[in-house]
Amino acid sequence: MENWSEYVGYLASVFVVVSFLLKDITALRTVNLLGCICFVIYGVFSGMLWPIIIPNAILSVIQVFHIIKKD
C-alpha cells in the first residue's frame, strides 16, 4: 500500500457524506467525528496540510463535546 494516506482521505470523505444521511444525532456526530479524525490523519501524513488539519481538529473537539453533553 504505497499511498495509504490517500485511502484514509477517501475514507474520511465517505464518513462525512454518510453522516449527512443519518437522522439520529448521536450517530451522525459519531460518524462525522470518525471522518474528521481521518481527515486530520490524512492532513498530517500528506505533508501537514493545515487547511485540512485545523478545521477538522476543531470539528472533532466540537463533536466530542456534543456527544458527551448529549443534547
Q: List pLDDT tens digits, range 6-31.
A: 999 999 999 999 999 999 999 999 99
Residue ranges of domains in the chain = 4-69
State how far the Cα of 6 lies from the Cα of 23, in Å rounded to an integer.
29
pLDDT at 66 over 80: yes
Per-residue pLDDT band at 1 (split at 50, 70, 90): low
Cβ within 8 Å of residue 25, ≥6 positions away: 71
Instruction: Let me know if 38 is exposed, middle or buried by CB neighbors in 10 A (0-12, 13-18, 19+).
Output: buried
State how far the Cα of 39 lies from the Cα of 57, in Å rounded to an integer.
9
Per-residue pLDDT band at 70 (split at 50, 70, 90): confident
Which pTM value belongs to this model? Answer: 0.93
Instruction: Output the average pLDDT for the chain.
Output: 95
